[in-house]
Amino acid sequence: MSSLITNMIETGKPVHVVINPRSGYGGQKRLLGELRREIRQAGWEVVEYVTQAVADATRYAKSIAPQASAVIAWGGDGTVNEVANGLADTNVPLLAVRAGTENLLAKELSIPKRPADLVGLLKSGEIMACDIGMINGLSFHSILGVGFDAEVVRRVSRTRTGHISHLSYFWPIWRTFWEHNFPRLLVQADGETIFQGQGLVFVGNISRYSSGLRICRDARFDDGLLDLVVFECDQQARLLLHAAWTLLRLHPLKGNVIYRQARRIRVESDKPVHCQLDGDLGPTTPLDISISPRKIKLIVPGSPPGWPGPFWPWKGAPV
């Protein structure tokens, strides 16, 4: 069965825009105004909702799903995750846009930035089913990390007062790099113990990670599998080497890196270790991670005119 569902978005119901005012930058307010105008010109009614607290977006998306033709998540990956949670198991498609510090899912899907192009997607984009990852009862759509990067996120969130930029990460990364003690981890994939030792773990539904790194290099969001990457690492110098090989996208070929796919993953550690979920601080170990196949519908670009092959390499392929 193909993950491509349709390219038709209902016109009889409004398009809802869920806005996280803490994400993004001042200039985006102008873009939001442009988006509103473009949607109206295309014939849809627009309903906007501004979130005020964690989980607001999930509650709102769930409540309006029967009266929505589509929902646009105007924020970062955390906002997208909350909206996706609210729309899970419905037929209402989600358009994830780039209005946050990092929008890994929107980048993975090649979602454009200009409001006119976003409305073009509402009119003629395609809708695909997307898997959702679950960890200790919480969901994620892009990638989670256990250990080093979660410690960075913990430090950033501790001092966060408003919206953050990439610069907000500089000192937390620098301090974490020098102070981090690599935890002793036990990793199981589909019931098999595949790693015991010091290191970092990443589990991804998409290939992208921050700063252009493709840690889960081969991940597809619709194959019903999670990509699991374990970096064996006990010292700072080795972490730099891992980063260099990851930058070259050759890390799966290294002897001290495990790269595989699984449906169920468990991570234990000798002491509680945090994880980060789509850039937000997540629970501590032990972690039980699984995949819910084709849980949400995403609006994605169709093949450009004259494109020689399928824009989405796996579109139409049996899964």
Residues lying near Mg ion in the complex (CB under 5 A) are found at 220, 223, 225
Q: Taking the CB of residue 8, how many other CB atoms lie within 10 A of it? A: 11
Rounded to 5°, the CA angle 316-317-319 comes to: 120
Nearest approach, Cβ of residue 219 and Mg ion (Å): 5
173 or 319: whose CB is closer to Mg ion?
Answer: 319
The phi, psi pair for 90, rounded to 5°, reads -110, 175
Nearer to Mg ion by C-beta: 51 or 139?
A: 139
- Quick one: 73 or 226, whose CB is closer to Mg ion? 226
For the bound state, the minimum distance from the C-beta of residue 96 to Mg ion, rounded and expressed in Å, comes to 17
Enclosing H/E stretch for 122? helix 115-124
- Which of 64, 189 has the CB closer to Mg ion? 189
CA separation for the pair 7, 122 (Å, rounded): 9
Q: Write down the least CB distance from residue 260 to Mg ion, Å.
A: 12
Q: Compute the least distance from the CB of residue 280 to Mg ion, in Å.
A: 20
d(CA 165, CA 23): 9
Nearer to Mg ion among residue 112 and residue 252 (C-beta): 252
Q: Under a CB-based contact definition with an 8 Å cutoff, are residues 92 and 47 in contact?
A: no
Please state, in angstroms and rounded to a whole number, the distance separating the CA atoms of residues 41 and 163.
31
* 314, amino acid identity: W
- Closest CB 185 distance from Mg ion, rounded Å: 22
